[in-house]
Chain A
């Protein structure tokens, strides 16, 4: 039993913060997706126009933005798998907290594989 009433608000802790993070990363990814389809559409204008637009992604500022975008996608994806398990696996709700820490650990592993290579591509003397 909780040692004090939880009130009528959401109970906080891992469950609430992963829910907040899922919304924030989802909105970020959605707005990037709108921009990304528009910049890709320039490919039907001319090769020169597309290369000029996509070339801006090679700038180091965009490189850091891409790192943040990939981080948002990866944590949204892994927490999304956790959500699916919470909803469809009989023991999902019981293990929701430990599954969040597993998702975060997988996130760290994937980013540790992604970031060095991506940052070398971004900053590596082109």
Chain B
């Protein structure tokens, strides 16, 4: 091969993209964003605008919400969609501004580690939550817990 490509060589189409990964990411940001608008506005309204707002939030308040599958599904869906939406957003920002391969690798490694830890922890908390833990002070528990 010479240093310069043969100018008479016929055009060969290069298959540069291996998958539609970025297309699906773009679609996901829009679809999840629309769902998250409803989920997060609802979450903020119930937790900050009803009763005494942030002063109403304590163990019994959350236990009362998670007594119904409705709020468990709501919070689980919110956790997963928000974490994937946010992680994909940060991935895009890292790709845009971190030009060194190594920096990009490290930052995205940390990002995916944080994603995994937070999603696994949050999911476990929702599924293993006990609204009436044994030995807890009764006045901190929701009213439906049996008297000790």
Contacts and interface: CB of A to CB of B under 8 A. Distances in A.
Interface of A: 23, 26-27, 29-30, 33-34, 37-38, 40-41, 43-44, 46-48, 50-51, 54-55, 57-58, 62-63, 66, 70, 73, 77, 80-81, 83-84, 87-88, 114, 117-118, 121-122, 126
A118 B58 contact: no
B118 A44 contact: no
A116 B55 CA distance: 15
Contact of B137 (A41, A48, A66): A48
A51 B58 CA distance: 5
A57 B52 CA distance: 13
Contacts of A58: 54-55
Given A23-B93, A43-B125, A44-B130, 14 more contacts: A26-B93, A27-B90, A29-B86, A33-B82, A34-B114, A37-B121, A47-B60, A48-B137, A50-B59, A57-B54, A57-B57, A77-B33, A77-B36, A114-B49
B109 interface: no
A46 B136 contact: yes
Interface of B: 30, 33-34, 36-37, 40-41, 44, 48-49, 52-55, 57-60, 62, 79, 82-83, 86-87, 89-90, 93, 114, 118, 121-122, 125, 128-130, 133, 136-137, 140-141
Given A34-B118, A48-B136, A70-B48, A43 B54 contact: no
Contact of B125 (A40, A88, A114): A40
A37 B57 contact: no
Nearest to A32: B86
> Which label, helix, strand, loop or mixed, suits the secondary structure of the B interface?
helix
Nearest to B123: A37
Given A57-B54, A121-B53, A70 B122 contact: no
Contacts of B128: 44
A38 B89 CA distance: 20
A81 B37 CA distance: 9
B88 to A, nearest CB: 10
B48 A26 contact: no
Contacts of A30: 86-87, 89-90
A69 to B, nearest CB: 9
Contacts of B57: 54, 57
